[in-house]
Structure 1
Amino acid sequence: MRLTTRSWGEGPRTAVLVHGIMTDSRSWSGVAPAIARHGYRVVAVDLPGHGGSGPAPGYTPASLAAALLATLPEAPDLAVGHSLGSAALLLAASRLRCTRAVHCDPAWLPRHRNLDALRATRHATWHELRAAHPRWHADDITAEHRALAAWDPASVTALQHLPGLPGAPAVPSLVVLAGPSERIPPAHAATLSRRGWRVRTVDGAGHAVHRDDPAGFLHALHGWL
């Protein structure tokens, strides 16, 4: 499946960005221009069932990874994934042949979720989103409201097939966590460090680290851009 993409910059290097569930490529708008200024052409996808990409017959991290491989340029210099997008990137990284990978508060560990409640999020109002995300820029709230209108709620089934905590990284990899993170608790973060992952935390940021604290997220990428 070929995915809709959005791009920033015209640098000699390539960075690819993969969003999480319920949003789309516009979720990177607060940080993508800054990444581009480091000499990248930045390409962000709309995952299946999100944004301008059509719905899929089924949703698993593996099928999302296959869509990434069918769409993204080969051997990017940097690949960044958030939440469920990180789970898809984890499965695609070795075949994508990215030079470096960054995983932002990744959804790797299975945990109890009320899938019906997640599906109902599609009908959230602008003001409800504003209340839920007080640190986001108003443009992010508007972008999220539009993204939810295009989102296929069936994609929540992908959360039932998360890959679990990975072993050693396939490529040099950084994990940027919310502070504190509900997805990767401290004991699991320590395990990742022992397995060769670089782990950094953006204190005070919520799950969407790059939208809660764009400057903190970019600071966490020091040495990786």
Structure 2
Amino acid sequence: MLLHVDESGIGPRTVVLLHGMMGSSESWHRVVPRLARRGFRVLAFDLPGHGLSPRDPHLTIETAAASVVETVKSRATGGPVIGLGHSYGATVLAQAAASLRPRLAVYVDAALRLTGGADRASLVEAYEKDRRARSSSEVLRIARPFYSAADAEVEARAAERFDPETMASVSCGIDHAWVPGPASILVRADPSAWVSDDDARRFARQGGEVRSIPGAAHTLWYSHFDEFMAALPELFG
């Protein structure tokens, strides 16, 4: 399927942004202007079952990645591509990397492992409960005091549009694990509930570079925006 994309900026290099679960292309609203000012063409995706993109109750990580690749191709970028994925979006980027061949792949707070075998009905119920709770910007700001009002509005809107059936399908299949390419960076919170020290060491052994932001939340650029910018001089100078 072709996915919804918000496009910004002009330039010979394209950055593909892939949000985390229950996020959307708007999750990058702080990041996109910085990239555009640096001369990048920015493609911020809504992944399947998120935002304005199609739903698919039979989605797999492979079909999600294929949708990203096909959508990038449909945009006829021409120049080199850089991938930046957060959490679930990072796993999609890792799966897509063989076809997308990014000049640089940045994985944000993601272990690049996906556990399958989930019970679909239970997972749909859990996702729906979480979706309802996160659909209130007021509740989000209480739970995440580092959110600005704009952050909370963006993430509440993303939760409203999130489809539990689509995302549950991804976790009902087999286990997955990905090996980072040579031009790969892992940026993680320290400590991280998602990326253990063992995960970070595995990433480094496989040829990736690990950078940590002490005290950051899972969505690093919301809680530690300046530190996130500084951690990626390749993108933000």
Q: Return the TM-score normalized by structure 2.
A: 0.86
Change (3 A) 1:87 1:215: same
Deviates more, 1:104-113 or 1:142-151: 104-113
Q: Which residue of 2 aligns with 1:166?
A: 178
Structure 1 position 91 matched with structure 2 position 91:
no
Change (3 A) 1:44 1:161: farther
Q: Which residue of 2 aligns with 1:222?
A: 233
Q: Which residue of 2 aligns with 1:121?
A: 130
Residue segments in structure 1 that go unaligned for 5+ positions in a row: none
1:65 and 1:162 map into 2 onto residues whose CA distance is 16
Q: Which residue of 2 aligns with 1:149?
A: 160
Change (3 A) 1:177 1:162: farther
Residue by residue, what CA displacement relative to the aligned partner does 1:16-43 show, whole Å, maximum 9, x if unpaired?
Answer: 1011111100000111111222210111
1:216 and 1:143 map into 2 onto residues whose CA distance is 21
Contact kept? 2:12, 2:80, Cα under 8 Å: no
Using the TM superposition, give the Cα deviation of residue 117 of structure 1 relative to its aligned residue in structure 2, in angstroms: 2.9
1:131 and 1:215 map into 2 onto residues whose CA distance is 22
Q: Which residue of 2 aligns with 1:100?
A: 104
Q: Find the partner of 2:81 among 77, 80, 83.
A: 77
RMSD: 2.1
Contact kept? 2:6, 2:45, Cα under 8 Å: yes
Aligned pairs (5 A) from 1:35-74:
35-73=35-73
Q: Which residue of 1 aligns with 2:215?
A: 204
Using the TM superposition, give the Cα deviation of residue 68 of structure 1 relative to its aligned residue in structure 2, in angstroms: 0.3
Q: Secondary structure at the match of 2:49?
A: coil
Contact kept? 1:20, 1:82, Cα under 8 Å: yes
Q: Which residue of 1 aligns with 2:5?
A: 5
1:50 and 1:83 map into 2 onto residues whose CA distance is 14
Q: Return the TM-score normalized by structure 1.
A: 0.91
Change (3 A) 1:150 1:27: same
Q: Which amino acid aligns with 2:130?
A: T
Residue segments in structure 2 that go unaligned for 5+ positions in a row: none
Contact kept? 2:57, 2:166, Cα under 8 Å: no
2:174 and 2:232 map into 1 onto residues whose CA distance is 25
Residue by residue, what CA displacement relative to the aligned partner does 1:28-76 show, whole Å, maximum 9, x if unpaired?
Answer: 0111111222210111110111111121132221121011011014664
Using the TM superposition, give the Cα deviation of residue 109 of structure 1 relative to its aligned residue in structure 2, in angstroms: 2.9
Report how many residues are paired. Answer: 224
Change (3 A) 1:36 1:161: farther
